């Protein structure tokens, strides 16, 4: 069993209270990964917004403004 003096719950050994330090390359990798997630999220949200906006515009146009003209459909039998 562990000695209570050398162990702090959630932080590991009591002597290890310093946060991890990273090299410049590791920091750059972590920032690049975070940036990629935000860019991916922004592009997906932009795509969904654009498609939804186009669908709403078409629904409003065909619901309120478009008037079919006689004879514009396929010829009958």
pLDDT per residue as tens, the chain (77 positions): 556 555 555 555 555 567 777 778 888 888 888 888 888 999 999 999 999 999 999 999 999 999 888 876 677 66
Q: What is the DSSP string of 27-65?
A: HHHHHHHHHHHHHHHHHHHHHHHHHHHHHHHHHHIIIII
pTM exceeds 0.75, yes or no: no
Element containing residue 7 per DSSP (H, E): strand 7-8
Coil, strand, or helix at residue 13? Answer: strand
**8 Å CB contact between 34 and 41:** no
Domain extents in the chain = 22-65
d(CA 6, CA 20): 19
């Amino acid at each position: 069993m562990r000695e209570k003096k050398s162990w702090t719950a959630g932080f590991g050994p009591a002597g290890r209270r310093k946060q991890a330090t990273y090299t410049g390359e590791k920091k750059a990798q972590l920032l690049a990964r975070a940036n990629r997630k935000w860019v991916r999220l922004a592009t997906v949200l932009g795509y969904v917004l654009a498609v939804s906006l186009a669908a709403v515009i078409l629904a409003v146009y065909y619901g309120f403004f478009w008037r079919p003209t006689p004879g514009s459909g396929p010829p009958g039998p």
